[in-house]
A and B are shown apart, each in its own frame.
Chain A
Amino acid sequence: QVHLQESGPGLVKPSQTLSLTCTVFNDSISGGDYYWSWIRQPPGKGLEWIGYIFYSGTTYYKPSLDSRLTISLDTSKNQFSLKLTSVTAADTAVYYCARGGGCSSSNCAIDYWGQGTLVTVSS
């Protein structure tokens, strides 16, 4: 069973950088078939897909976040990461890492999700 686990600070000050890491278990992020996504959910609100990375390093970022967002891979640790700069209170959300976001040989769905981690932006 594929398992994903987010890690990182739960509190970030305004204007600083939000950094999260996702560790993937029982699958290889460099295996070449899957995209690896970040999705967030503000408290009490809906889901927002913010971007993905492919094993080749190809990325796509949601345009409204493009200037602040970086998603990267560390294949040696089977991890991928998110960095969001210049955060504001509007970036407060549960952040999920997930497998999917592009089409694999199986489907074009987001089929495995981490449990999510709440990041609060506050001074």
Chain B
Amino acid sequence: DIQMTQSPPSLSASIGDRVTITCQASQDINNYLNWYQQTPGRAPNLLIFDASNLATGVPSRFSGSGSGTDFSLIISSLQPEDVATYYCQHYANLPLTFGGGTKVEIK
């Protein structure tokens, strides 16, 4: 199985801050990577697909980049509604696997 390692496991930032979450795959996955946001008590929601494409309805302050083994999710200006846990997920082969998650809080 491909292992997905996210960092940091958690972070605390101020409103308006730029936030970067990284995801590293244990082998080359091209750009076969998605990002999800899970707010407390809710199901995950697709944010970004194919490493850099914004899903429908996702605010433009979210962006994704990367290819190969190293990927990033950036929130350009953190908002209160962005408090959530963020997960990366590869689809290079089966089984699909998720990163361990990054919990984002407001300082």
A-to-B contact residues, CB < 8 Å: 46-49, 51, 60, 62-63, 96, 101, 103, 107-111, 113-116
Contacts and interface: CB of A to CB of B under 8 A. Distances in A.
B97 A113 contact: no
Interface residues on B, range: 20 to 34
Interface of B: 32, 34, 36, 38, 42-46, 49-50, 53, 55, 87, 89, 91, 94-101
Contacts, number: 55
25 contacts: A46-B99, A46-B100, A46-B101, A47-B36, A47-B38, A47-B87, A47-B101, A49-B89, A49-B98, A51-B95, A62-B95, A63-B95, A103-B91, A107-B49, A107-B53, A108-B34, A108-B49, A108-B50, A109-B46, A109-B91, A110-B34, A110-B44, A113-B43, A113-B44, A115-B42
A109 B54 CA distance: 12
B44 A47 contact: yes
Given A60-B95, A107-B49, A108-B50, A46 B55 contact: no
A111 B32 CA distance: 15
A57 B94 CA distance: 17
Contact of B43 (A51, A62, A114): A114
Given A47-B87, A108-B32, A96 B96 contact: no
A119 B61 CA distance: 36
B91 A96 contact: no
A96 B45 CA distance: 12
A113 B49 CA distance: 15
B49 A49 contact: no
